[in-house]
Structure 1
Amino acid sequence: MGRPPLHQQPNALLAHWMRRSRTSNQQLARLVTERGAAQGITGLGTDESRVRAWLKGAVPREPVPRLIVEVLGARSGWDLTLADVGLPGDDEAIGPRTPWTRAAAVAVLNQITRSHMMLPDTRTGPEAAQVLTGDQLLTPLHEWTLVRPDPYEPARGNGRRVGMSGVEGIRDITSTFRDLDNRHGGVLAPSAVLAQTHVVLSHLKAASYTDAVGAALFSAAGDLAGVAGWMLFDAGHHAPAQRTFVAALHAAAEGGDQRLGAHLLQCMARQMSHLGHVEDALDLVALAQYGARRQLSPAGTSMLAALEARFQAILGQVRDSETAVSRALDAFEHVNPADEDPHLAFFDEPELRATLGIAHQIAATHLDKGPARTRHVRISADLVGAALAARPEHRQRSRAFDHLGLARTHLAGGEVEGAAEETKLCLEMLGTVRSRRVADRLGELYAEAAPVADTPPGQELRERIHSHLATAG
């Protein structure tokens, strides 16, 4: 029949895909046997009782899991994986097709905390190619805008009762990990955050709590998992980061927290842009803006508009970028930090200036040399310089990005010596900051400086970057 898990849990994902494909227990048993026979596999003996056992959490032996995926995939019209139906043996742990239910939210959070995430960390490697893009990513995520949390049962679990003080403890831990990430980058601690997420899962699965506490628990779990996803992204583990963001989005939806959901979607948008999928990034921003349109705070509205400005600039849509810049500035005028959520604490005035400054810097690269390009370069230098001057000391990675942004702005304006100096300052900070994103951006600057490689400052800039990247590992 198969091996039972040590802590057997009902397979909510298998049940979902059976319902969605309109497949009964008896039908699944028969179809698995027939598909196996067609492939020369005999002696399976699959029957309705075994399907009931799988739904309770038993794991069938090979090749039955593969046959289950093939049967349900054919009947539903989806290209499913083992993980989509809640079975082990597939590295693609979580995808956007995961059903938007409470049981599935717990299941996907459980999967990410048990995953091994020591994978290659370059944007051009095979691991980065595993991220979902286009309709594969965006079509299922649109269901996020329609989710209504499942009704809570009067009593949950037989364990201890969890109250709001327990939720506040989770939020305090999340804040600590956020601060660690800001100070030192995401390379050091994603496993620790995932381990803490697993502890939170024990509350969701075994404790009892009221409706209000249950919603807050799911929201807190989603926020904590989002920090883990961000650290994985910053460390260059792109496919695990995407799966973790999706799992966090499911938890946020189950907690009814649309503002957190919008925040997680903007994290995913930044990752898509970093990997070169800029149109997908814009679509994710639009989905966040629409899905949380009645709940967004002024900081959330401003942040999404600022990102939109940057992504439009990358696509060369300079006028649309400038329009989004104006919307970001208008919304930020209404920000009261005391009224904003903890996950938006990073989006202060320096962060706004830096984001808009980079949008102007990118816009300048799409313009011929002349007054318009000079104007964008000047605005970029003013904004990013002001951001750097006002950054809190603990935002070390952001400060490194600011120096890097200034280097690229100087280069866009033909100030090669200024670019070399800012690059030097950025590299001096990387002894305490370990971030694959910073390293990737340095690689871009190295390529952008190729036309000035025959000048002393251009040669110095490229040699410094080459030396750092060759030894950073």
Structure 2
Amino acid sequence: MSGSGADESGTGKRPNEPLGSWFARSGLSKGELARQVNRRARQMGAHHISTDTSRVRRWLDGEQPREPIPRILSELFSERFGSVVAVEDLGLRSAHQSPSDAGVDLPWAGPQTVAMLSDFSRSDLMLARRGFLGSSLALAAGPALVEPMQRWLVPTPGGGEAPGSGRAASAARRAPRLSGPELELLESTTAMFRLWDAQCGGGLRRKAVVGQLHEVTDLLQEPLPAAVSHRLFTCAAELAELAGWMSYDVGLQPNAQKYFVLALHAAKEAGDRPLGSYILSSMSRQMIHLGRPDDALELIHLAQYGSRDCATARTQAMLYAMEARAYAGMGKPSKCKRAVRMAEDSFADAGLDGEPEPDWIRFFSEAELHAENAHSYRDLAFVAGRSPTYASLAEPVMERAVALFREDEDHQRSYALNLIGMASVHLLKREPERMARPAAQALEIARKVRSERVNTRLRKTVDIAVRDFPDVPEVAQLGELLGPRFPEPAEAV
């Protein structure tokens, strides 16, 4: 069974020229595209999808496949070209989307935020139980994404009542169902999920995080005192951000963006601007991954402006580091280097004021600072046409990040990603023998963590090495170790 559906266009089909153009530019064969579609479908839980070369030929000839094939093709081509390639850009029809599911321009109000979080998390869980984790969401980019997010800083009209309850007066007269110790347990559970993600990748506990988020939205629909409501909205925002991050890590990009947007709405209801800035930084990372550094920069500047008077030095350092990544992707070295210096200066002040820091920023360690700055220099090298100068700047900083992560058992995914970054730096310097060792080390970690992001970056780096240096024995051996079927994508549970 192909799972892609019969011809829906009737007789007299015309070749799909947009899809044909993207396909020709990709350099993929029909068989390789079919294998990638099947691999992504298994990752999503769509095990009924089993396409082949002949089916790809029929798509090129004008057959309109059913969901989730159009969205899978959109994601695959977006990743290959480093920019958003929408379903419509491929000449394909996407499934009908309701406004609440398709867009990111959502109402900034407590009850609506709770309802949307509840509906989206319930839908995610229901699809997971059926063995299919995809949806017909579309990625937003450019003004369609940035302009709605700017409303994060606009005061909510008619504020003052406990957010989410609508019945603050009656809530004050009755004891909440949620006790203080139970609320603390919810908050500590979120921190535990965050640690599991760092240790094992987003594929291991994604469904558990979504389930916990749905439980929190149920609590938010009850009458609550204002203080409890604010803490629950903070918990919902952190869980939604983590669900988005895990979705991003396993390759479910539209789902990730929707969770990030909903997380930002919840953070606004909680009145937590530093948390909102962190969520915007996660959205910025996703845009960098998708080849949209301009959008990433807009989101980071919004985060910096919104938290300029309340974020800790560590949070400010993280935002500067992400600003540097965006400038690197835009090919602006002077602004990138300035942001790198600002990140280093801010990080040097972290913890000096004695203020306690939220759990969500504790990941931004010295290792993470070096990792982000090294990747900024690495990205500058790519944008500048494989510049050896910027690659040389990246090398010692990346080496320091790798050395620090090597001693950190709680962040194995980050260790793998920076080993891959080290390998890519050696490729930029045309040192294929030296790239093989960190890539092989990353391969061993990739077998243990459940992260499609690690798998994809490793595959891309090794593919470049095999293409450019096929006669180097260390590279050839690495290609054989990777093999045509590894890494198998982890299921996003």
User: C-alpha distance in 1, partners of 2:97/2:175?
Assistant: 31
1:154 alignment partner, SS class: helix
Mapped pair 1:177 → 2:203:
no
**Residue in 2 aligned with 1:422?**
438
The percent identity for this pair of structures is 32
Query: What is the aligned-residue RMSD (CA, Å)?
Result: 2.6
Structure 2 CA distance for partners of 1:399 and 1:382, relative to 1, 3 Å? closer
Aligned counterpart in structure 2 of residue 319 of structure 1, from 334, 349, 352: 334
The offset of 1:374, in angstroms, is 5.7
**Residue in 2 aligned with 1:106?**
114
User: C-alpha distance in 1, partners of 2:207/2:391?
Assistant: 45
Question: 5+ unaligned residues in a row in structure 1: which ranges?
Answer: 1-87, 120-125
The offset of 1:367, in angstroms, is 4.5
Structure 2 CA distance for partners of 1:448 and 1:319, relative to 1, 3 Å? farther
**Residue in 2 aligned with 1:353?**
370
The offset of 1:454, in angstroms, is 2.8
**Pairing 1:405-420 to 2, within 5 Å after superposition:** 405-420=421-436
Does the 8 A contact of 1:245 with 1:264 survive in 2? Answer: yes
2:247 alignment partner, SS class: helix
Aligned counterpart in structure 1 of residue 273 of structure 2, from 238, 258, 283: 258
Structure 2 CA distance for partners of 1:128 and 1:442, relative to 1, 3 Å? farther
Name whichever of 329-338 and 90-99 sits farther off. Answer: 90-99
Mapped pair 1:453 → 2:439:
no
Mapped pair 1:379 → 2:396:
yes
**Residue in 2 aligned with 1:344?**
361
**Residue in 2 aligned with 1:463?**
480
The offset of 1:313, in angstroms, is 1.4
The offset of 1:131, in angstroms, is 0.7
The offset of 1:423, in angstroms, is 0.8
Structure 2 CA distance for partners of 1:435 and 1:374, relative to 1, 3 Å? closer
**Pairing 1:155-170 to 2, within 5 Å after superposition:** 155-156=170-171, 160-170=176-186
User: C-alpha distance in 2, partners of 1:184/1:369?
Assistant: 32
The offset of 1:472, in angstroms, is 4.3
The superposition leaves residues 94-143 of structure 1 with CA deviations (integer Å, 9 ceiling, x where unpaired) of 63211111111111111221123769xxxxxx979821001111111100
Structure 2 CA distance for partners of 1:464 and 1:314, relative to 1, 3 Å? farther
The offset of 1:323, in angstroms, is 0.7
**How many residue pairs are counted as aligned between the two chains?**
378
- Scaled by the length of structure 1, what TM-score is found? 0.74
1:98 alignment partner, SS class: coil
Mapped pair 1:97 → 2:105:
yes
Mapped pair 1:394 → 2:410:
yes
The offset of 1:150, in angstroms, is 5.1
User: C-alpha distance in 2, partners of 1:374/1:89?
Assistant: 44
User: Which residue identity lines up with residue 105 of structure 1 in the other structure?
Assistant: T
**Pairing 1:210-229 to 2, within 5 Å after superposition:** 210-229=225-244
Mapped pair 1:151 → 2:161:
yes
Does the 8 A contact of 2:447 with 2:487 survive in 1? Answer: no
User: C-alpha distance in 2, partners of 1:322/1:165?
Assistant: 46
Structure 2 CA distance for partners of 1:318 and 1:176, relative to 1, 3 Å? same
Structure 2 CA distance for partners of 1:330 and 1:281, relative to 1, 3 Å? same
User: C-alpha distance in 1, partners of 2:136/2:289?
Assistant: 11
User: C-alpha distance in 1, partners of 2:103/2:322?
Assistant: 24
Aligned counterpart in structure 2 of residue 131 of structure 1, from 128, 134, 139: 139
Aligned counterpart in structure 2 of residue 116 of structure 1, from 115, 120, 124: 124
Q: Which has the higher contact order (CA 8 A, sep 6+)?
A: 2
**Pairing 1:272-291 to 2, within 5 Å after superposition:** 272-291=287-306
The offset of 1:464, in angstroms, is 3.2
**Residue in 1 aligned with 2:381?**
364
Structure 2 CA distance for partners of 1:128 and 1:385, relative to 1, 3 Å? farther
**Residue in 1 aligned with 2:310?**
295
Does the 8 A contact of 2:416 with 2:442 survive in 1? Answer: yes
Structure 2 CA distance for partners of 1:183 and 1:321, relative to 1, 3 Å? same
Question: 5+ unaligned residues in a row in structure 2: which ranges?
Answer: 1-95, 129-133, 163-167
Aligned counterpart in structure 2 of residue 187 of structure 1, from 203, 207, 216: 203
